[in-house]
Chains A and B, each alone.
Chain A
Amino acid sequence: MPREDGLPPGTLVMLILHVLTGGPRHGYAIAQRIHTLSREELSVEEGSLYPALQKLLLKGWVKASPAISETGRAIREYRLTPSGRRQLERECANYRRMGAAIDAVLDTA
């Protein structure tokens, strides 16, 4: 399992897909966005980001296209595909269901 310090296991893919709903981004921007949106609670290790992005490309949930970064370097921008959007919905629903179930257990004495 990739090292996801601070991230609940299995949620990296969901988070990346969600971040991309806001438009195409490159790898650094994706990591920054997750860090920002989580109020600096979650921090994605680069060691897990890029293998995860390859998995998203393989599954066809995102597409990559060449771009130039703000610093003028050659990068790739990732954009969400329709099947990626569907996968995101599935993963969110799953996560919420799990969360509710865990809450239910914890709320019972």
Chain B
Amino acid sequence: MPETIPSNLFLLFVFLFFFVFLISFFTVLILILRKEKKFNRETILLPISPSFKESAEAMLKNELEKSTKEVREIIKTSFFQLISNYQRETEKISETVSVLALDFKNTLKQRTNEIFEALKVELKKSLPEIEQQNRQISQAILEEARERITHSEKEIEMIFQEVKKEFLEKKAEIEKMLENYKQEKIKEIDEKIFQILADVSKKVLGKAIDLSTHEELVFSALKKAKEENFFKA
């Protein structure tokens, strides 16, 4: 609104200025024409002396200047009056706006305070409910956390049991493998010992046995074979 007022006033001012200018122009024209008619009606065509003509022209010029001056004064006065009016109106509007702004500010402050108060009241009213909800949510979170912990504990226990079982199985398997390996090695060692003993005995005995002993051994073998019915069909 404060922006539209100057533009309207400016238009008004231009219009007034134009209007005053037109009035002044027509006034001067009427005055000239009236004088000329008066002269035409009352005077007889007389020869005009140059001095008279000069004085008449000077008078006319003087009058014209006078009229122009008056019009200027009128315009100036109107302009100042218009500006003065505009300033007054502006001041009035400004005052009104200030009053309104102050009023609006006060109203806003009051309204804000009211809203705050209402909010406070509402908050106070809702506080127990919110607290209750908070407690419920906390309780629910706590319950869920407990359930999850319990579930996790069970899962950990299951994993632990599985790992333990697997470990024990692997341990038993390794122990069995070790036992087998041990037995195998013992067997190998026994066989080696046996082989060594056999080889040593063979060498020692082989060298120690003479021909007659060999013969005795052969005959005793043949006798044994006969006893065992080896030669019977």
Q: Do A and B bind each other?
A: no
